Amino acid sequence: MGFENVCKSLNNYFSNNKLFAPLQVFALPVTIVCAALLVLNNFISFSGFQHIVLIAFWLFFFILLAGENYLMVAVALGLKAVDYLIPFLRGLFKYHSFWWYYVLYVAIFGYLAYVSYKRSVK
């Protein structure tokens, strides 16, 4: 019950804010495109542009979360988990090193994607 109240409060804030209200329409495509660009950044370096994409991802992610579209939130979080899984696997096979923080990020974002997906099925 508490999580739905947070989403409703976020939705109320974003709907009443004259800066964020027009951006609600673009929350879904921008979140997915930014998540895909972050995954693509593992193969093609965007250097300074990566930080702008990351900020846009989190901003539009919270706008998307406020709209309670849990299936697309699960997709975005799944792409974020893949964003951390690729460097983990690259480090494991190419450099023979095991980085625990990547494992932790993959576990956290993977679990949150799973929970969001389960919430969307209900």
Confidence of residue 53 (pLDDT cuts 50, 70, 90): very high
Residue 62 tokens read as 């919270």
Is the confidence at residue 120, as pLDDT, over 90? no
Confidence of residue 1 (pLDDT cuts 50, 70, 90): low
Residue linked to tokens 């576990």: 107
Task: Express each pLDDT in 78-100 by its tens digit.
Answer: 999 999 999 999 998 888 888 89
Helices (H), the chain: 2-16, 27-40, 49-66, 70-93, 100-121
For residue 39, the SS3 value is helix
Is the confidence at residue 117, as pLDDT, over 80? yes
Alpha-carbon radius of gyration of the chain: 16
This prediction has a pTM of 0.86
Tell me the pLDDT of the chain averaged across its residues.
Answer: 89
Task: Express each pLDDT in 14-27 by its tens digit.
Answer: 888 888 888 888 99
DSSP annotation string for 63-85: HHHHTT-HHHHHHHHHHHHHHHH
Q: 108: which residues sit within 8 A by CB, 6+ positions away?
A: none
Instruction: State how far the Cα of 96 lies from the Cα of 77, in Å rounded to an integer.
Output: 27
Task: Express each pLDDT in 24-44 by its tens digit.
Answer: 889 999 999 999 999 999 898
CB-based contact 76:61 (threshold 8 Å): yes
